[in-house]
Chain A
Amino acid sequence: MNKKSKAYRIFSLVLVIILALLFTFPLYWIITGSFKTGKEINSTTPVWWPSEWTLKNYQKLMSKFKAPLFEIAIPFSQYFSEDGTPAIGLTGPTVPAAVRWLLNTVWMAVASMLLTCLTAAMAGYSLAKKRFVGRNLIFTLIVCAMALPKQVILIPLIREMSSLKLYNTLSAVVYPIVGWPFGVFLMKQFSEGIPTEMVEACRIDGASEWRTFTDVMFPMIKPGVGALAIFTFISSWNDYFMQLIMLSSNRNLTISLGIANMQAENQTDFGLIMAGAAFAAVPIIIVFVIFQKYFTKGITMGAVKG
């Protein structure tokens, strides 16, 4: 039996519970705040539980700005127009801007996730299982880049994105996330754990390189890919700095950015701001709670030999 004294156990349990309550409080305050009436929000005595639940704040959030649900640009058209803006081929119905922002964020996070997982899994396989000249050099470069602060590249990136005519598009947010080498590093570590014999046996049986990857390697590194996927999804969703710098026009914003702008314009309308915050936070929290096992794995795997 564990020898920890009972008194200490109870003490630490109580303390952890109190701390946990304090940590959940901001979220509680966001959600209850978003349903409070203006009077309760602006009362100098805090209202701990709304006496009447109102949807006014959400109605305001939904009616404040409008935007088309989606705009599908003609690919590469930005390279042929005068001012570098793409020609819009298909425009969706007009909806509240917050919905558009949410859709933008989902699109951005899903695209980052899929591209990162695919490219990183392939690169990780190559670095772990293939022997070729330059492999060590590339891997060293990857490890060095990982140790540097991600945010210092953002200022040069903005110029690069303007000259590639990608500024103020979601691609400008997605590509640097895909390029960030953490995923490759993680996948390499993971692929190294797969026995080389399996790969070689498959090659000897006459499978092509690509088949070997998709049919033998990929199924075995799936848990690692899952962890990387959820990790990329959540971190790109919350990568506020990148979004702030790369996106400017109201309809291209992500939900975090939209709420931040709204906050700057309506400093003291806390009800509206809390409704926006809840709208931004709740979807990602749900995703996190559902996939938290993978997520935890992703975090710990990255640290194994950081």
Chain B
Amino acid sequence: MRKSSGLTQNLRRQETIAGYLFLLPSLVFFLTFVVYPMFMCIYTSFFDSNMGKDAVDTFIGLGNYKELFQDKVFLGALRNTVLIVVVAVPTVCAFSLWVASAITDMKPWLTSAFRVIFYLPVVTGSVAVTVVWKWMYNNYYGIFNYLLKGMGVIDKNINWLGDARYALWCIIIILFTTSVGQPIVLYVSALGNVDTSLVEAAEVDGATQMQVFWKIKWAQIMPTTLYILVITTINSFQCFALIQLLTSGGPNHSTDTVMYYIYYTAFKLYRYGYGNAMGVVLMIIIALLSAVQFKLGQAQD
């Protein structure tokens, strides 16, 4: 009796050691390059600190946060970010659901060909995508002005990216094309997993295509929809490369997003603590949104 319990204890100890050893390499990277900086982001947000080599950090408590909510540029950036999210998320979801349901019934090679095509802008990379759009939006040589003039929509060339009225919308269009790839892949696979016996039963009972979709398929792909909502929201919140490459937040901060303004504060103004305070606010917003999604997901189950 005693011998066997000693054995299990021995086994258990061995299992613990093995478990940690297998975990160790990953844990080292995770703690050093993810958890520690996350902690530092929160910690330094309470300091007036800059990026210099011999910089001295002074503790200022909630000073950065107080300044943040009086900073017109930050509030503008927050408003732009919310606008991007509010416009991009529903359109990306609806568009990708429509495309996915249109291509999912096709021959397999066609489905995967279309899937690849809609994923292309993601794979091409933000830099290559952005530089070509920058050319297309160009005041003199861009095809947009040419086409719109040809169709009679506008009569004078518009400096799309240099005009505060249009610049943000131009960015949203590019963001849209680079955001639908992943949702389409997810929806195609979710629609493929819908229980066909339910669909067939409904069709036998004379349900219309619309009814089948909304009453059966929609409910079954709901978890995917929630997941897509979250990833698209997070991606739109983090919109950075497009802004940095296209407008640098201009004209006159009209296209700043929170992420770009963080970068601008930390690397152009060298206000490290202030940038981190914004990072913390962004983390809180995204964590709250994720929590809402999690609750919604649980309600679904």
Contact = CB atoms under 8 A, between A and B. Distances in A.
A26 B22 contact: no
Q: How large is the interface on A (under 10, 10 to 19, 20 to 34, 35 or more residues)?
A: 35 or more
B117 to A, nearest CB: 5
A151 B238 contact: yes
B269 interface: no
A26 B123 contact: no
Contacts of B129: 26
A5 to B, nearest CB: 8
Contact of B118 (A20, A244, A278): A20
Interface string A122-154: 110111001111010010011001011111111
B283 A152 contact: yes
A270 B141 contact: yes
A223 B104 CA distance: 24
B267 interface: yes
Nearest to B297: A306
A3 B209 CA distance: 7
**Chain B interface mostly:** helix
B131 interface: yes
A49 interface: no
Interface residues of B, number: 92
Interface in B104-143: 105-106, 112, 114-129, 131-136, 138, 140-141, 143
Interface in B79-111: 99, 102-103, 105-106
A142 B182 contact: no
Contact of A299 (B21, B185, B245): B185
A157 B37 contact: yes
B283 A241 contact: no
Contact of A153 (B26, B27, B34): B34
Closest 8 CB pairs of A and B: A130-B19, A152-B279, A179-B29, A126-B22, A123-B26, A179-B33, A277-B128, A156-B37
Interface of B: 12, 15-16, 18-23, 25-27, 29-38, 40-41, 44, 51, 99, 102-103, 105-106, 112, 114-129, 131-136, 138, 140-141, 143, 146, 177, 182, 185-186, 189, 203, 209, 224, 227, 230-231, 234, 237-238, 240-241, 244-245, 259, 262-263, 266-267, 272, 275-276, 279-280, 282-283, 286-287, 290
